[in-house]
Amino acid sequence: MNPILIHEVGPRDGLQAESTVVPTAVKLDWIRRTAASGVDIVQVGSFVRGDKMPQMADTDDLFRILSKETHRATLSGLVLNEKGLERALEVGVQLICMGVSASETHSRKNTGMSTEDATRRIVATALDAKKAGRKVQVSVQSAFGCGFEGAIDEARVRTIIAAYLEAGLTSISLADTAGHAHPEQVRRYVQMVLALDPAAEITAHIHDTYGLGMASVYAAMEAGAKAIETSFGGLGGCPFTKVAAGNVATEDLVHGLQRTGQRLDIDLGALIGVTKDVAGHFGRELPGCVYKTGPIQTKVPA
């Protein structure tokens, strides 16, 4: 079995709901250290309007600086529309992420579009990104439930996924934007995507709003997900959902994997160091556990 990939989204999803804008130099330090730790992907920011989301106003500048450097990890960025893609292409984003919400209410709050319109637009934008030679990941947001609407019909999720696959977009993230997912549901949805296309590469983006985050992550991995999106310290939450709450903590997941001999190539101590600095910057404890308790030492095979 191939090692599970870790996609660190702290610099984007972790910071987007914060009221305090983190200085660019501080972000660069966190991103560089996280990228050097051995995680596979680091999401630097999102290409949104700075006046609407000040925390992401320096995304272009971050990529301009980071693209001149060599990094162990792939650097990803989130785009919402064609203008965002133009900006991402201009500054050399390696992996372009975009998505559609299965919740009509969340879709309109987040993008100003219906789910149907957003699907058409995002598929076209994703294909443009592929034509430009970039790697693309598409997501289904609010896939497991919505803070405004409650349960989301599985058929709505399936329709979006089918549109992606029909367009040849096979790198798909199932995003638990509202934190409503539970392990059985996550397992079923991953299996559903693989039934539609066994070659699909599935990422799980799970929030821990109601305490089932880590259990749902393990269910996703057991069902065949290839990557997990996590955030340093469990920081984060979508500002356009009803109850914004954090992600599964990167260092907690890495610690769990290393307890069973997986992902020993990742420097857990480095990740914990970043999380401690993030917590210190905001002056509060973060939801993650291992950065506070310290890890259980795992013996690395000789």
Could you confirm whether 146 is annotated as catalytic?
no
pLDDT confidence of residue 10 = 97
pLDDT confidence of residue 275 = 97
Tell me how many domains the chain contains. 1
Residue 301 within any structural domain of the chain: no
Range of the domain at 276: 5-293
Q: Residue 298: is its pLDDT beyond 80? A: no
Angstrom distance (rounded) from CA 230 to CA 116? 28
The CATH number of the domain holding residue 222 is 3.20.20.70
- Looking at residues 277-284, what average pLDDT do you find? 95
- Looking at residues 180-194, what average pLDDT do you find? 97
pLDDT confidence of residue 237 = 62
Kindly report, residue by residue over 198-252, the tens digit of the pLDDT. Answer: 999 999 999 998 999 999 999 999 999 999 999 999 998 655 444 456 899 999 9
pLDDT confidence of residue 242 = 46
Pick the more confident residue, 59 or 17.
Answer: 59
Residue 127 within any structural domain of the chain: yes
- Looking at residues 14-26, what average pLDDT do you find? 93
Residue 224 within any structural domain of the chain: yes
Residue 298 within any structural domain of the chain: no
pTM (2 d.p.): 0.94
Residue 299 within any structural domain of the chain: no
Query: Considering 97, 146, 238, 289, which one is annotated as catalytic?
Result: 238
Residue 302 within any structural domain of the chain: no
Q: Residue 23: is its pLDDT beyond 90? A: yes
Question: Quick one: which of 197, 181, 282, 184 has its CA closest to 233?
Answer: 282
Q: Residue 259: is its pLDDT beyond 70? A: yes
Q: What is the mean pLDDT of the chain?
A: 93
Kindly report, residue by residue over 121-169, the tens digit of the pLDDT. Answer: 999 999 999 999 999 999 999 999 988 888 999 999 999 999 999 999 9
- Looking at residues 64-71, what average pLDDT do you find? 96
Residue 56 within any structural domain of the chain: yes
Instruction: Name, in order, each residue with C-beta under 8 angstroms of 267's C-beta and a sequence gap of 6 or more.
Output: 36, 37, 38
Q: Residue 37: is its pLDDT beyond 60? A: yes
pLDDT confidence of residue 244 = 53
Per residue, the 3-state secondary structure of the chain, as one string, reads CCCCEEEECHHHHHCCCCCCCCCHHHHHHHHHHHHHCCCCEEEEEEECCCCCCHHHCCHHHHHHHHCCCCCCCEEEEEECCHHHHHHHHHCCCCEEEEEEECCHHHHHHHHCCCHHHHHHHHHHHHHHHHHCCCEEEEEEECCCCECCCECCCHHHHHHHHHHHHHCCCCEEEEEECCCCCCHHHHHHHHHHHHHHCCCCEEEEEEECCCCCHHHHHHHHHHHCCCEEEEEHHHCCCCCCCCCCCCECEHHHHHHHHHHCCCCCCCCHHHHHHHHHHHHHHHCCCCCCCHHHHCCCCCCCCC
pLDDT confidence of residue 108 = 83
